[in-house]
Amino acid sequence: MAGPNTTHWKLDPHTKAKHEILRHYLGGWFPVLSAYNGRVVFLDGFAGPGRYENGEPGSPIIALTTLLDHSYFPRMRAEFLFVFCEPEPNRFASLKSEVTALQNSRSPWPRHVKVILLDKPFQEAASDIVEDLKRQKRQLAPTFAFVDPFGFSGLPLNLLRDLLASPRCELFVNYMVDSVNRFAGAGNVDRHLTELFGTDQYKEAATLAGRPRQQFLHDLYENQLKAVCGFPYVQSFGMINKSGHIGYYLFYGTRDIKGLELMKEAMWKLDPGGDYRFSDRLVGQDILFIEDRLDVAPLQQALLEQFSGKTVPIQELENFTTIRTPYKKTHLRRPVLAPLEKAGMIKVQRPGKHGFPTGTMITFTAG
């Protein structure tokens, strides 16, 4: 684990897992956003040194290579702007060296891929961006903000709100729930916690203990991302440390259901069971899981309860599955709707002869 003056440190399993989610998501995000926008921004608020102790790439290098190595990259015409913030001098020097080495190895460097290195804290850099946008009366270009601090200070919710106010901006933030859980109610870091949550409601956790306390703090942060930052779609992923406790959550916030679908796909690759968790203690063990054997009974029951006696388009069922359940929309048709139709529990009006294509209407029998 990195200390305040550590330049490089070992890559923990949960950090590697976090990077895998990031890599999978960006692999889908880059081509989609660049197809409809002239500029796309990746902002790494706590960039680090660029490499880990044994040479593994950090998030800035992962983000850059995910774009450069993408099979669609030769056809992407948007300008890609990468902004990396790292205030610690030695880490910044290492990051600059790693980025330069990557650029030299990919010579000639693509003219539409630009990198800005900022040797300042995320809070300062984000505040500068917000002030510049206000002066110019402009909105931020479509941005994926990866905010991955070591603690919970320097991460004001109101700043995230102002920075990512544009409808096409998204947030992927590391919420250190274990640290918050320890200090909530202690009184000595209330200023930082009030900034983090954008409210002092976290103090209500003082009367709780154990899992209910942690769940309350998780739900409060999720609700604040929705209410304050205006992200209607929020998905979290828990990282379980070697002691068996959730050390932090990764929270993803977006205003686009397509983004939510993409992030759930990325998270399912790490935890193919819908719990949205990764445990350090399982590293090196084979996970015996076949998606065809996934238990879809909870999804089936949720659909029957929600839509009993109603006729709805297939798109509404997809949206419900994506937004209101842990499942992906790919779990809907063959695993759930096909058996329900066979059992006579739904009636299907489809534009074709087979399947559940766009335009299909589903009638649920009253239960």
For 252-290, the pLDDT digits (tens) are 999 999 999 999 999 888 776 666 767 644 334 333 334
Q: What is the residue extent of each domain of the chain?
A: 13-282, 291-364
Tens of pLDDT, residues 292-303: 567 888 899 999
Mean pLDDT of 95-107: 98
Q: 22 exposed, middle or buried (CB, 10 Å; 0-12, 13-18, 19+)?
A: buried
Query: Among 20-29, 137-146, 269-278, which is the least confidently predicted range?
Result: 269-278
- Tokens 């603690």 found at: 151
Which residues in 35-179 belong to E strands, given as ranges? 39-44, 79-85, 113-118, 143-147, 170-175
What is the enclosing helix (H) or strand (E) of 65? Answer: helix 59-68
Q: 321 exposed, middle or buried (CB, 10 Å; 0-12, 13-18, 19+)?
A: buried
Tens of pLDDT, residues 192-215: 999 999 999 999 998 898 889 988
We find that the CATH architecture of domain 291-364 is Orthogonal Bundle (1.10)
pLDDT-derived band of residue 2, with 50, 70 and 90 as boundaries? low
| pLDDT for 268 | 87
Domain 13-282 sits in CATH at 3.40.50
**What gap in Å lies between CA 169 and CA 160, rounded to an integer?**
10
Q: Packing angle between helix 13-36 and helix 257-270, nearest 10 degrees?
A: 150
| pLDDT for 294 | 77
| pLDDT for 80 | 98
